[in-house]
Amino acid sequence: MKIRVNGTERTLDVDPEMPLLWAIRDVLGLTGTKYGCGEALCGACSVHLDGHVVRSCVTPVRRAEGKRVTTIEGLSAAGDHPLQRAWLELRVPQCGFCQAGQLMTAAALLEATPAPTDDEIDASMAGNLCRCGTYPRIRAAIKRAAGIKGDEP
C-alpha cells in the first residue's frame, strides 16, 4: 500500500493490521515517534493523519492508505515550528521521550485553536503523559508559541 509520510510517498508491504506506529518505526525507520503503552493511553506515539492527531499505536496502517502522515520528523523543515522553538526557549524537555507526542498533539491544537486557554490546553493535552512532570512548561510553551503573553514560569 502507499502512504505519504512527511511529504514523501512510501510503499509498504506489511500486514494491513500492523499498527501505524510499528510501520513508521520498524519498517520506515522513523524513530522519533515513540512506543509508550500500545493502547492509546499515553500519547507518545501521536502523529497526524491528514492533519488530525491519531495515536499510531492503535491505528492500523491500512487506515493511512492514500493519506498524509506527518511525524515529528516532518513537523517542520528545519526544526523551527513555533512550538519547537518555544519548547527550546522554555527548556521543556527533561528526558525527552514523550516530547514528540506532546508536540504533535500541541501542533494540532494550535491549528484548530490558535489561542487556547489553560482549560483548552489541559483538555487537548489530557491524553499525553509525561513522567518527568514537564506539564507546566508544556502549557507555558504552547501559550508562547500561540503568542499569548501571561504567567510564564
Partner 1 sequence: MTVTRRSFLIGLNLAVGGLALGIYPRDALAAEPAGLSPNVFVRIAPDGVVTIVCHRSEMGQGVRSSLPALIAAELGASLDRVVVEQALGDAKYGDQNTDGSSSVRERIDDLRRAGAAARQMLITAAAKQWKVKPATCAAAGHQVVHAASARALDFGDLVAAARKLAVPKPESLELRPMAELRAVLHPTLPLLDGPAFVEGKAQFGADVSLPGMLIAVIARPPVVGGTVAKYDADAALKIPGVRHVIAMPEPVAPWLFKPWGGIAVVAENTWAAMRGRAALDLSWNDGDNAGYDSAAFDDEMLASVRAPGTTRRQVGDVDAAMTAAARIVEAEYLVPHLAHLSMEPPTALVAIDGDQVEVWAPTQNPQGARGEVARTLGVAEDNVTVHVTLLGGGFGRKSKPDFVAEAAFLARETGAPVRVQWTREDDVRHGYYNAVSAQRLRAGLDADGKVTAWHHRTAFTPIGSTFDGVSDEPGDGDLQQGVLDLALDVPNVRAESCKARAQVRVGWYRSVYNIFHAFSVGSFIDELAAERKVDPRDMWLEIIGPAREVSLQELGIAKLGNYGHTLDDHPVDAGRLRNVIERVTASAKWDERAASGRFLGLAAHRSFVAYTAVVISVVADPVRTFRIDEAWISMDAGTIVNEERVHSQLEGGLIMGISNALYGGVTMKQGRTVQSNFRDARIARIRDAPRRIHTDLVASDALAAGVGEPPVPPVGPALANALFALTGKRLRAIPLAKALGI
Give contact residues for partner 1 (rule: CB under 8 A).
15, 18-19, 22, 25-27, 29-39, 41-42, 44, 71-73, 75, 79, 84, 87-88, 91, 93-100, 103, 118, 121-122, 125-126, 128-139, 151, 153
Pairing of strands 8-11, 2-5: antiparallel
Task: Compute the distance between CA of residue 11 and CA of residue 2 in angstroms, rounded to an integer.
Answer: 5
Given a contact cutoff of 8 angstroms between Cβ atoms, the answer to whether 83 and 107 are in contact is yes
Return the bridge partners of 83, or none: none
Which is nearer to partner 1, 54 or 75 (by Cβ)?
75
Given a contact cutoff of 8 angstroms between Cβ atoms, the answer to whether 57 and 19 are in contact is yes
Task: Compute the distance between CA of residue 135 and CA of residue 19 in angstroms, rounded to an integer.
Answer: 28
Smallest separation, CB 65 to partner 1 (Å): 17
Smallest separation, CB 23 to partner 1 (Å): 8
Smallest separation, CB 108 to partner 1 (Å): 15
Which is nearer to partner 1, 52 or 117 (by Cβ)?
117
